[in-house]
Chains A and B, each alone.
Chain A
Amino acid sequence: DQQVKQNSPSLSVQEGRISILNCDYTNSMFDYFLWYKKYPAEGPTFLISISSIKDKNEDGRFTVFLNKSAKHLSLHIVPSQPGDSAVYFCAASSEFTSGTYKYIFGTGTRLKVLA
């Protein structure tokens, strides 16, 4: 059961335009969401996070939006740059009955920014 879904395996965007990466989740108990970027042969790098008490968080060119009613979050990159070409993972966490947290990751979206 995939609790965090990234339904678009790939996305191509022209340099300078906006990139929008989407993520859906099924567990309403998730209360913390993160985006990671991964280059080939490297581990994922943390980009930006958002708590469920917010609906938007911004950091430079990266903005994450959270729509709790739709169980949907998105990552906007403006303007997109060729160096942004990578695989992007969304992740979610919640406090399970054991009182500990664990992160559930989506399957990733490969973004290609065309020069």
Chain B
Amino acid sequence: KAGVTQTPRYLIKTRGQQVTLSCSPISGHRSVSWYQQTPGQGLQFLFEYFSETQRNKGNFPGRFSGRQFSNSRSEMNVSTLELGDSALYLCASSLDENQPQHFGDGTRLSIL
């Protein structure tokens, strides 16, 4: 069974640009969550999608947005990039709520 796939693995952008990250969940999983990981901060929850609807949202500015498609694939977009957005962005999928989440290997975003 294929795991969660995130593309690209690495990305370098400059301040002010925007970026789109992609996540393909495990087949059959309808819940997709996004996290930001920075040194010393652990995993910070961004948002969760289920059946193309955003079910929950963390405390991030509106520059961070996402969507989910009918095949459960999800994208995350960050606009007007700032230096502080440099982080590892992780996507996780699960069958539904309160089920273990399965993570992809992440996209490492560096802002210059």
* Cβ proximity bits B60-96 to A, threshold 8 Å, 1 near / 0 not: 0000000000000000000000000000001010000
CA distance A105 to B38 in the complex (A): 12
| Residues on the B chain within 8 Å of A98, using CB | 55-56
Kindly supply a per-residue 1/0 record for chain A positions 42-83, scoring 1 wherever the CB is within 8 Å of any chain B CB and 0 otherwise: 111110010000000000000000000000000000000000
Cβ < 8 Å to A, chain B residues 28-75 = 33, 35, 40-45, 48, 50, 55-56, 58
Size class of the A contact interface (CB-based, 8 Å): 20 to 34
Q: Please give, as numbers and ranges, the residues of chain A lying within 8 Å of B41 by CB-CB distance.
A: 107
Q: How far is the CA of A41 from the CA of B105 in the complex (A)?
A: 7
Size category of the B interface is 20 to 34
Q: Beyond A44-B43, A89-B43, A107-B40, is A101–B98 a contact (Cβ under 8 Å)?
A: yes
**B97 and A100 form a contact (CB under 8 A):** yes
For the complex, give the distance between the alpha carbons of A106 and B107 in Å.
20
Q: Is A93 a contact of B106 with CB atoms below 8 Å?
A: no
Using Cβ atoms and an 8 Å threshold, which residues of chain A touch B103? 36, 43-45
Interface residues of B (CB under 8 A from A): 4, 6, 33, 35, 40-45, 48, 50, 55-56, 58, 90, 92, 97-98, 100-106
Nearest first, the 7 A-B pairs at minimum CB distance are: A43-B103, A107-B42, A101-B97, A105-B43, A46-B100, A100-B55, A102-B56
